[in-house]
Amino acid sequence: MKYAFPDNFWWGSASSALQTEGAREGETTWDYWFAREPNRFHNGVGPQQTSTFYQNWKTDIQLLKQLNHNSFRTSISWARLIPDGIGEVNPEAVDFYNQVIDELNEQGITPFITLFHFDMPMAMQELGGWENRDVVDAYARYAQICFELFGDRVLHWFTFNEPIVPVEGGYLYDFHYPNVVDFRRAATVAYHTVLAHAKAVQAYRAGHYAGEIGIVLNLTPSYPRSQNPADVKAAHIADLMFNRSFLDPVLRGEYPADLVALLKSYDQLPACKPEDGFLIAEGKIDLLGVNYYQPRRVKCRDSAVNPQAPFMPEWFFDNYEMPGRKMNPYRGWEIYEPGIYDILVNLRDNYGNPRCFISENGMGVENEQRFIENGQINDQYRIEFISEHLTWLHKGISEGCNCLGYHMWTFIDNWSWCNAYKNRYGFIQLDLETQQRTIKKSGEWFAATALNNSFEKE
Ligand code: BGP
């Protein structure tokens, strides 16, 4: 069967500044943390060992072209542009981003730009990071500077990439700096991130720029183990905490009342100011990026909560391992293709069918060299992964979901936070020693799909 996509469908991939650029002086939390705890990073490989986009941006954009991308998302590094977060703008950074943006446009590849992809300038973290409202203001200033510098040529902006991840990693589950485990502080960070987002949207609207502004959220549909009310309630609370804590403010302009009531009853609400509600209402977006990797399966708790233990989302549910689930064993994530459809249907039915696109989807695999045939990685598993997801995406579109494109994570194998280079995601293989780039089979498949705006599958 042939799966054809709407005209002008966005075909592309996503990456981020910190994971690809290298050659950066402005210090981020990642540089600081790596210098102190290299053991936290796979094989002790840190954030300066990148795929050298800072040097190779021009040839990399040629490769994007070869992959028939019509769009490409990357981020601006706040720490490169404004090394101390709040002071002088670095003119070399302005030159660099101008060149990248201009070259993308010249090659017919629409630039999608994220303002914050996990890379907090260390000077801002020293002030308390997202716990401090001064950092919210510094971010709003940074956003405004980006709009002024690049807003004439960048027409698709994203305030944050996966803003729940720094909350989870940095303040609940100990996989990002500052490695705090404290729900109330996590809630404050999440809340201030929403305020920062809303301030950036406000600044964008005030500037009357020609483009649109949105956010990229990682949505993990929450599936209950059964339809038993206790399981359903557990899934509902997981959904409130991990999806709707950002989805509702950015699409509806307010938090879900039952999330607020729940946190209030456990005295976990962040400090609010009377004017915040108005600001959050102003933060409604034009375009939603959806990152989808895995579903969340939950069941009700079987055991009592230890009231002495730190308050955690898991007070309200247990993770459920569904027998027979399909796994990506390298990343430890379940692969569940219909999830992409369920997300789109939820957006259509419960959020007014917003303009959206899949901004990340992907499969990280270890030791891909074992699949080399005639000098090329034959990653048939990745082609399967993409085409299966695309069939569900196609079904959503044919049922009226307003999904405008599909971007993969990622373009060239890149540095992946604490996993460094353990799992490779790229359409293009990176030889870390020589920096040589070689297109994988999946890259060729994607290029053909983008060119034809369709693919064939039985
Ligand atoms: C997303 C991030 C990316 C990327 C990807 C793969 O959450 O937006 O930055 O890294 O996941 O995940 P990981 O690198 O953790 O395997």
Atom of ligand 1 nearest to the CA of 118: 9
Known catalytic membership, residue 126: no
From 33, 59, 1, 7, select the one nearest 122 (Cα to Cα).
33
Calculate the alpha carbon distances from 144 to 196, 198, 206, 216, 342 in Å. Answer: 12, 12, 10, 19, 35
| Cα 266 to ligand 1 centroid, rounded to whole Å | 32
Atom of ligand 1 nearest to the CA of 218: 7
Q: Does ligand 1 have an atom closer than 6 angstroms to the CB of 161?
A: yes
From 70, 34, 71, select the one nearest 49 (Cα to Cα).
34
The verdict on pTM exceeding 0.75 is yes
Catalytic residue among 21, 131, 162, 368: 162
| Cα 416 to ligand 1 centroid, rounded to whole Å | 6
| Cα 191 to ligand 1 centroid, rounded to whole Å | 22
Collapsing DSSP to helix, strand or coil, 326 comes out as coil
Known catalytic membership, residue 162: yes
Q: Does ligand 1 have an atom closer than 6 angstroms to the CB of 360?
A: yes
How, if at all, do strands 71-75 and 423-424 pair? unpaired
| Cα 383 to ligand 1 centroid, rounded to whole Å | 19
| Cα 423 to ligand 1 centroid, rounded to whole Å | 10
pLDDT at position 441 is: 98
The residue whose CB lies within 8 Å of the most ligand 1 atoms, and thus the one to mutate among 40, 165, 294, 409, is: 409
Calculate the alpha carbon distances from 317 to 18, 163, 223, 240, 302 in Å. Answer: 34, 22, 12, 12, 9
At 393, list the tokens. 């995406």
Instruction: Tokens 């446009």: give the residue.
Output: 105
pLDDT at position 220 is: 98
Q: Does ligand 1 have an atom closer than 6 angstroms to the CB of 331?
A: yes
373 strand-pairing partners = 376
| Cα 278 to ligand 1 centroid, rounded to whole Å | 32
pLDDT at position 458 is: 87
Q: Does ligand 1 have an atom closer than 6 angstroms to the CB of 163?
A: no
Sequence-distant (≥ 6) Cβ neighbours of residue 438 within 8 angstroms: 375, 376, 377, 428, 429, 431
Q: Does ligand 1 have an atom closer than 6 angstroms to the CB of 168?
A: no
pLDDT, averaged in runs of 10, over the chain (458 residues): 98 98 95 98 97 98 98 98 98 98 99 99 98 98 99 99 98 98 98 99 98 98 98 98 98 98 98 98 98 98 97 98 98 98 99 98 98 98 98 98 98 98 98 96 98 96
Catalytic residue among 21, 131, 168, 360: 360
Find out whether 67 and 427 touch, Cβ atoms under 8 Å.
Answer: yes
pLDDT at position 346 is: 99
The residue whose CB lies within 8 Å of the most ligand 1 atoms, and thus the one to mutate among 119, 360, 366, is: 360
Find out whether 159 and 116 touch, Cβ atoms under 8 Å.
Answer: yes
161 strand-pairing partners = 216
The residue whose CB lies within 8 Å of the most ligand 1 atoms, and thus the one to mutate among 246, 416, 419, 421, is: 416
Spatial separation of the C-alpha atoms in residues 235 and 240, rounded to whole Å: 9
Collapsing DSSP to helix, strand or coil, 11 comes out as strand
How, if at all, do strands 403-409 and 10-14 pair? parallel
What is the residue with the minimal CA distance to atom 4 of ligand 1? 416
